[in-house]
Structures are given as structure tokens and as C-alpha cells.
Structure 1
Amino acid sequence: MNRPLGLALCLAAAMAAAAWAVFTDAVEIPDRWNPWAPLDVQAPPDWLTGHKLARARREPARCLAALAQTGMRYDLLPDRTTGTGCGLENAVRLRSAGVRLSPAAPSLSCPMALSFFMWERHALQPAAGQRFGQPVAAVDHLGSHACRNVNRGEGATPGAARSRHATADAFDVAGLTLADGRRITVARDWPHAGAADTDDATALLLRDAHAGACRYFDGVLGPDYNAVHRDHFHLETGGYSMCR
């Protein structure tokens, strides 16, 4: 066996042994640096946060355990079918969050509710503090659960795929209200093409909110994607990875 190959095999074996020791608790490391530790929703995000969030969203019991840490108030919803390819599974009715929601009490799958908390807590509020020196008090939305197909702007299309809204795995954010009552809307304040160098704080906050959402949701679509999304951010979990 040549020397480089031998060193590579030894390194791989050492890494596997170390991983197994951590996994079996033979060696204790802080949860923050342990990839098998549960997601801590209150901890500052680090390089393992995305991995832990994705695992929590995949496992219903783990998702609900993480959601219970958030401090949000919600009602568990019974699993049910609401139409062909539509329904609720491991879902909650969100009664209160870190911000007011308007309209109130949307129905969201547990993965969506968990991702919403992570986005609001670790992306949206820090951005609002940076841009305006105050928090976001309310999030205006256009709905979550709806038994319908993907909307590409051409109207109802027979045989089209179901939207992530059909299973409460999507949420459309239309605007924000700051603590001082100032309203920011995607339709009015999003910096469209030609405004790349804007210094407008409202536009920058919306950009920050969009970019932050891409860290905590599987899919994010905004006004630059197409005309259908000109007035909102479409946030979803469980679908294709996209940030547009």
C-alpha cells in the first residue's frame, strides 16, 4: 500500500472512530458542536444549525419537541385530508408568535411553524434592529393552507402539481409593521431591478428578510421571480431547494 493511501485510510478510520464515540456518548462534547444533538431554537445560529433544523423538520416527534421550545402558542391540529392531494399532517394552528400575525391563527405544518420561528428570531428581528433600531411587531400574510395547485400566473391548469400550500407547507408574507407603527410592504417597497445600490432602509430590510428566509426555509420566492410574487414572499418547506 502506498504511503498517501495509507494515510488517507488511517485518517478516515480515525474520523469514523471519533464520530462513533460522539454518537454513542463515549466522548462528551457541547451540544452546540454535536451534530446529533437536538436543535436548540434559542441558540445563536452556527454551522450546524441548518443540519439540525433539517433533521427536526424530517422527524415529526423531533419537530414538535423543538417547536415546544419556541415559546409560541399553538393548537395541535388533527391529521386530515382536505381534498385530493391536500390535507394537514403534523400541523398546528399558530395562535401567537414573537410577532403579531395578520390575519391571525394560520394553520401551518410543524416544519413550517418551526422554520418561521427560526427566521423571525434569527434573521428578521436582527435585520430590523440593524436597519431601524427597533423590532418588527407584526407580519402581514396572504395565507398558508389552501387546497390548490401551483400558481404560475396562467390560472388553473389541469394536471398541474399541487402547491405546498395544499399541505400547509407554505406561507406568503406580504408586509411588516415595525414597533413604531411604520408599515413596510413587499408590493410597494421591494427594490426592483435598477435599485441594486439602494440605501433605502425599507428596501434593505426586505432584502435582508428575503436572504434570511433562504437560510431557514427550503424554498423562497419573491418579486424578482415572477409577477405572481410581486407582492409577497412565498416561503415553503419540503419542496425543491430554491432562493429566487
Structure 2
Amino acid sequence: MSEEKQRRPGLRWAALSVLSVVFSAALFGLVALWVLLRPDGPLPDHWNPTKRLTVAAPVTFVTRVQMMRALGDIAECRAVLDQAGVAFAPMSDLEVDENCGIAGRGQLSGLANSRLNRVETRCATALRLAMWEEHVVQPAAREVLGSEVAAITQIGSYNCRKMRTSRGSDGRWSSHAKANAIDITGVRLTDGRRLTLLEDWDSDGPEAAFLRRIWRGSCDWFRLVLGPDYNQLHADHFHLENTGWGFCR
């Protein structure tokens, strides 16, 4: 028997052993994943991509997965807001035409920790706003201003109109035409202070630092953000939008 023929059984045995180890490891991994991702599994909800988004939960890489699922499902979105204590009263969808209307429509009058002057918007906009308030606005107020935000002021979400530019009306339809954006003008703190972008954005005190911090933080939760440094049309408000490609200015 040649040396090559004598070596073949050993090689087959080694290959089978390697395959057995790989198969066992894969099977163990699948079983472990199944155990971890079970509804009654040991993973905290904010680490389990199969669980519903919780607005107040710590932010992890799984948070984005949970949020995108809620943004794509109106019933899930409403359930998340309800669980968080957000005052979002569902309304029937508004259908105007192909350019204007509100899917997932509701009346928003309060977030988890602050009030909001009543506004008609879509659930996705309310959800992004709730995440921003919870994870950016309130922490910044506590750390920079030594207070908390009692109310957030806004000047509208739904508006069936075309885009506005510094040169006049644009031919394209505004994101407000489908309530995919909301315009925020300032906040009122629990200690009684009132902050507005128009008066405090360029001030020298901590108020300006707070406003700039929540502007930067809004870019983590909205897909397009425009503020006072963008142009004169936004001197008095943040334009926070669901759609777009990550533009933040």
C-alpha cells in the first residue's frame, strides 16, 4: 500500500472531526440565540431585537432596530407611545391628494416628561420627538441648566404646502405636507425660565449651550435637521424631519 493511500483515512477522519466541531458550535450558537431571544429570555428588552421599543430604556445598537420596526408599523408606533405615557390621541388618516395627507395621524399634546402645545402630526414624527426629548433634551437641561424641561414649544407639523427657500417658494412639496416634520421654537423649564431660539441661540450664557446641544442631539433621532445656522428662514426654529439622508445643519 502506497504512503498516499495510508494517509487518506487519516485525512478523512480529520476533516470529519473539523466538520463535527463546526456543526456542534453552530448548533450550540443557534440554541443559545433561541434561548436569549425568547420573550421570557434573560436578555433585557433593550438588548433584545424581538422586543418592543421602550422610549425610556437605555440606548443600545438594538434600539435602532426596534425603532425602525415601530416607525414602519403604525399600530406598533402607537403602542410604543402609549407605553411611554406620550399623549398622542389617534385620529383617522387624512387623505387629501398624492402630495398632502397624514398616515398614522394623531393629536400630540405631551411627551413622556414634558407638555407640548397641541399639534396634529403623524405617529412617526411623534415617536422621533419622544426619543429626542427622553435621551437628549431632558439630560441636557439637567446637566447644562440645572433644571428640567416642562414644555416644548412648536409652530406646526402638518401644512399642505410646497417648500420655501430664501428665494421664495420651491416647486417641490414640503415634508410638512405629509406631517413628516415638526418645527420647534424653544422650551419652558420647570424653574420658570423660557428659552427661544430667536432670543437665546446666539447668547453668551448656558442657554445657548443647551440649545446647541439639543440641536446636535436631534440629528441622532431625525433624518434631516435645519436650525438657525442654516438660513434666515430657520432663525426661530429647528426643522426636525423624518425623511432625508442625514443632513444636519
TM-score by length of 2: 0.80
Matched, 1:227 2:232: yes
Corresponding residue to 2:165 among 152, 158, 175: 152
Q: Which residue of 2 aligns with 1:89?
A: 103
Q: CA RMSD in A?
A: 2.8
Identity of aligned residues (%): 38
Per-residue deviation at 1:66? 0.8
SS at match of 2:96: strand
Paired with 2:245 and 2:35, the residues of 1 have a C-alpha distance of 32
Query: Superposed, which structure 2 residues align to 1:186-201 within 5 Å?
Result: 186-191=197-202, 200-201=205-206
Alignment of 1:1-80 (within 5 A): 14=26, 17=30, 21=34, 25=38, 28=41, 29-80=43-94
| Higher relative contact order structure (alpha carbons within 8 Å, sequence separation ≥ 6) | 1
- Name the CA distance, whole Å, in 1 between partners of 2:39 and 2:83: 27
Q: Which residue of 2 aligns with 1:128?
A: 141
Greater per-residue helix proportion = 2
Task: Tell me the CA shift for residue 84 of structure 1.
Answer: 4.7
Equivalent of residue 222 in structure 2, options 214, 217, 225 = 217
Q: Distance in 2 between matches of 1:48 and 1:19?
A: 18
Distance in 1, Cα, partners of 2:80 & 2:69 = 11
Q: What is the identity, as a one-letter code, of the residue corresponding to 1:134?
A: S
TM-score, normalization: structure 1?
0.82
CA 1:31 to 1:99, structure 2 compared with 1: closer, same or farther past 3 Å?
A: closer
* Alignment deviations for residues 101-157 of structure 1 (CA, whole Å, 9 cap, x no partner): 2xx310111011111111112210110001121111121212111001122222223
Unaligned runs of 5+ in 1: 1-5
In structure 1, how many angstroms separate the alpha carbons of the residues matched to 2:98 and 2:37? Answer: 44
Q: How far has the Cα of 1:206 moved from its partner?
A: 0.4
Aligned length: 226
Secondary structure at 1:239 match in 2: coil
Aligned to 2:8: none
Once the two structures are superposed, residues 49-106 of structure 1 have per-residue CA deviations (whole angstroms, 9 ceiling, x without a partner) of: 22321221112222111111121223211112234500011111013333232xx310
Please name the residue that 1:3 is paired with. Answer: none
Instruction: Quote the Cα distance in structure 2 between the aligned partners of 1:66 and 1:205.
Output: 28
Which whole-Å CA distance do the structure 2 matches of 1:20 and 1:141 have between them?
A: 44
Decide whether aligned partners of structure 1 residues 137 and 49 sit closer, same or farther in structure 2, where only a CA change above 3 A counts: same
Task: Name which one, 1 or 2, has greater alpha-carbon Rg.
Answer: 2
Which segments of 5 or more consecutive residues in structure 2 lack a partner in the other structure?
Answer: 1-17
Shift of 1:235: 0.5
Q: Is the 8 A contact 1:143 1:172 kept in 2?
A: yes
CA contact (8 A) 1:83 1:147 kept: no
Residues 152-190 of structure 1 show CA distances to partners (whole Å, capped at 9, x for unaligned) of: 2222234x2x11111111110111111122121112222
Match of 2:115 in 1: 100
